[in-house]
Amino acid sequence: MKRFESLADTMAKEIRSGSLPTGSRLPSLRHVMAQHGVSQSTVFRAYYLLEDWGLIQARERSGYFVAPGALTQDRVAKGSSTGSAKVEISDLVFSVLDAAKQPGIVPFGSAFPSPKLFPLQRLGKSLAQAVRMTNPWSTVVDLPPGNEQLRRQIALRYVGIGIAQSIDEIVITNGALEALNLCLTAVTRPGDVVAVESPGFYAALQAIERLDLRAVQIPVDPQTGLDLEALAKALEEHPIRACWFMTNFQNPTGATLTAEKKQALVALLAEYDVPLIEDDVYGELHHDPDYPPPALAFDKKGLVMHCSSFSKTLAPGYRVGWVSAGRFAGRVQRLKLMTTLSASIPAQAGIADYLQHGGYDKHLRKLRGAFRVQLDAMNAALAHYLPDGATWSQPKGGYFLWVKLPRKIDVMQLHFLAIEHGISIAPGPMFTASHQFGDCIRLNFGHPWSAETGKAVETLASLIERAER
Ligand SMILES: Cc1ncc(COP(=O)(O)O)c(C=O)c1O
Kindly state whether residues 235 and 367 are assigned to the same domain.
no
Kindly state whether residues 233 and 346 are assigned to the same domain.
yes
Kindly state whether residues 64 and 109 are assigned to the same domain.
no
**Ligand 1 pocket, mutate which of 183, 245, 251, 444 (most atoms under 8 A from CB):** 251
Residue 321 in contact with ligand 1 by CB distance below 6 A: yes
Helix (H) or strand (E) holding 203, with range, is helix 202-210
Atom number, ligand 1, closest to the C-alpha of residue 111: 14
We report the CATH number of the domain holding residue 169 as 3.40.640.10
Kindly state whether residues 38 and 70 are assigned to the same domain.
yes
- Measured in Å, residue 203 CA sits from the centre of ligand 1 at 8
User: Domain boundary residue among 331, 357, 383?
Assistant: 357
Ranking 176-185, 208-217, 280-289 by mean pLDDT, the lowest is 208-217
Residue 177 in contact with ligand 1 by CB distance below 6 A: yes
pLDDT more than 70, % of the chain:
94
Q: What does the pLDDT look like over 408-448, one tens digit per residue?
A: 788 888 998 999 899 999 999 999 988 789 999 999 999 99
- Measured in Å, residue 396 CA sits from the centre of ligand 1 at 18
| pLDDT over 50 (residue 75) | no
| pLDDT over 50 (residue 7) | yes
Q: How far is CA 161 from CA 151, 158, 196, 267, in A?
A: 16, 5, 26, 20
Atom number, ligand 1, closest to the C-alpha of residue 180: 4
pLDDT at 80: 29
Q: What does the pLDDT look like over 192-227, one tens digit per residue?
A: 999 999 999 999 999 998 999 999 999 999 999 999
Residue 279 in contact with ligand 1 by CB distance below 6 A: yes
Q: How far is CA 269 from CA 82, 220, 230, 255, 263, in A?
A: 35, 17, 13, 20, 10
Average pLDDT (385-395) is 95
Kindly state whether residues 211 and 254 are assigned to the same domain.
yes
Hey, what amino acid is at 448? P
pLDDT level of residue 87 (50, 70, 90 thresholds): very low
Average pLDDT, the chain: 90
214 touches 232 (CB < 8 A): no
Kindly state whether residues 43 and 65 are assigned to the same domain.
yes
Give the torsion sign (CA, 30, 38, 417, 27).
Answer: negative
Q: How many CA atoms lie within 13 A of 202 on its CB side?
A: 22
Kindly state whether residues 328 and 270 are assigned to the same domain.
yes
Residue 201 in contact with ligand 1 by CB distance below 6 A: yes
Residue 245 in contact with ligand 1 by CB distance below 6 A: no
User: Domain boundary residue among 322, 342, 357?
Assistant: 357
| pLDDT over 80 (residue 161) | yes
- Measured in Å, residue 236 CA sits from the centre of ligand 1 at 30
**Ligand 1 pocket, mutate which of 154, 178, 312 (most atoms under 8 A from CB):** 312
- Measured in Å, residue 320 CA sits from the centre of ligand 1 at 11
Give the torsion sign (CA, 321, 284, 106, 441).
Answer: positive
| pLDDT over 50 (residue 79) | no
- Measured in Å, residue 428 CA sits from the centre of ligand 1 at 17
| pLDDT over 70 (residue 84) | no
Residue 251 in contact with ligand 1 by CB distance below 6 A: yes
Higher pLDDT, 176 or 133: 176
Residue 446 in contact with ligand 1 by CB distance below 6 A: no
We report the CATH number of the domain holding residue 455 as 3.90.1150.10
Residue 309 in contact with ligand 1 by CB distance below 6 A: yes
Average pLDDT (297-320) is 97
Kindly state whether residues 160 and 288 are assigned to the same domain.
yes
- Measured in Å, residue 413 CA sits from the centre of ligand 1 at 26
Kindly state whether residues 178 and 50 are assigned to the same domain.
no
Bridge partners (DSSP) listed for residue 34? none
| pLDDT over 90 (residue 265) | yes
Ranking 73-82, 131-140, 236-245, 298-307 by mean pLDDT, the lowest is 73-82
User: Domain boundary residue among 357, 383, 413?
Assistant: 357
Q: Which of 68, 176, 129, 143 is nearest to 353 (CA)?
A: 129
Atom number, ligand 1, closest to the C-alpha of residue 178: 11
Residue nearest to atom 7 of ligand 1 (CA): 176
Domain count, the chain: 3
- Measured in Å, residue 176 CA sits from the centre of ligand 1 at 6
Kindly state whether residues 239 and 340 are assigned to the same domain.
yes
Q: How far is CA 377 from CA 176, 298, 371, 403, 446, in A?
A: 29, 36, 10, 15, 11
pLDDT at 67: 75
Average pLDDT (235-247) is 97
Helix (H) or strand (E) holding 240, with range, is strand 240-245
pLDDT at 89: 64
Kindly state whether residues 49 and 78 are assigned to the same domain.
yes
| pLDDT over 60 (residue 330) | yes
Residue 185 in contact with ligand 1 by CB distance below 6 A: no
Average pLDDT (32-48) is 88
Atom number, ligand 1, closest to the C-alpha of residue 320: 10
Residue 5 in contact with ligand 1 by CB distance below 6 A: no
Kindly state whether residues 324 and 343 are assigned to the same domain.
yes
* Exposed / middle / buried, residue 362 (Cβ in 10 Å: 0-12, 13-18, 19+): exposed
pLDDT at 71: 52
Residue 241 lies in domain: 120-357
We report the CATH number of the domain holding residue 24 as 1.10.10.10
**271: Cβ contacts below 8 Å, ≥ 6 apart:** none
Cis check: omega of the bond before 199, within 30 degrees of 0: yes
